[in-house]
Structure formats: structure tokens, C-alpha cells
Amino acid sequence: MELDYILLLSALLFVIGLFVVITRKNAIMVLIGIELMLNAANLNLIAFSSYDGSLQGQIFSIFLITVAAAEAAVGLAIVVKVYNYFRTADLDKINELKG
């Protein structure tokens, strides 16, 4: 597969993730959008690493996958605690109830 197609796919994933983060009001959907953007960055790293012939991008991508998993776990724990406190996951309602 050519580098251009992989970069186009990565850009498309990033734009979809950014669209989800900007338009959705549900906290879990925002987390999913952030994960899409992180996966787009990982896809770029792997594509450039395979094009260059080195393994540095792939190793860094594995590191970023572990960081993304930890971020998702912490983010989901925060969303669960916020849901237990406010009884909603809607970000606009949580902002209104705050103060």
C-alpha cells in the first residue's frame, strides 16, 4: 500500500475524531473521538516508519498505545465518577450544574 493512501486514511480518521470531539455532548463519545485522533497519529508514525525502513516509529507507536490505554482508563473512571455525582454524562448539563 502506498504512503499517500495511508496518510489520507490517517487524516480522515483524525478529522472524524476531531468532528466527534467538537460536536458531541456525551463525555464517552468525546473520549472515543480523542482515541480516534490518537490512533490517527499512531497510523502516521507506523506509515512513516515503514516508509523510512527504521523501527523507531513503530516502537514509539507501541509506547503511545499503552499511554492511550491508560488515558482511556483514567478518562472512563472520571466519567463514571461524574455520572455518579451528577447523574448525567452530558457535558453541557454538567457545566451548568457546576456553579
pLDDT of residue 99: 58
Residue numbers of the domain that contains 20: 3-98
Whole-structure pTM value: 0.86
Look at phi and psi of residue 21 and say left if phi exceeds 0, alpha if psi is from -120 to 50, else beta.
Answer: alpha
Per-residue pLDDT of the chain (99 residues), as tens digits, is: 899 999 999 999 999 999 999 999 999 999 999 999 999 999 999 999 999 888 998 999 999 999 999 999 999 999 999 999 888 888 888 877 665
pLDDT of residue 91: 85
- CATH number for the domain spanning 59: value is 1.10.287.3510
Chain centroid, CA 97 distance in Å: 27
Domain count for the chain: 1
Q: Is residue 66 helix, strand or coil?
A: helix
pLDDT of residue 97: 65
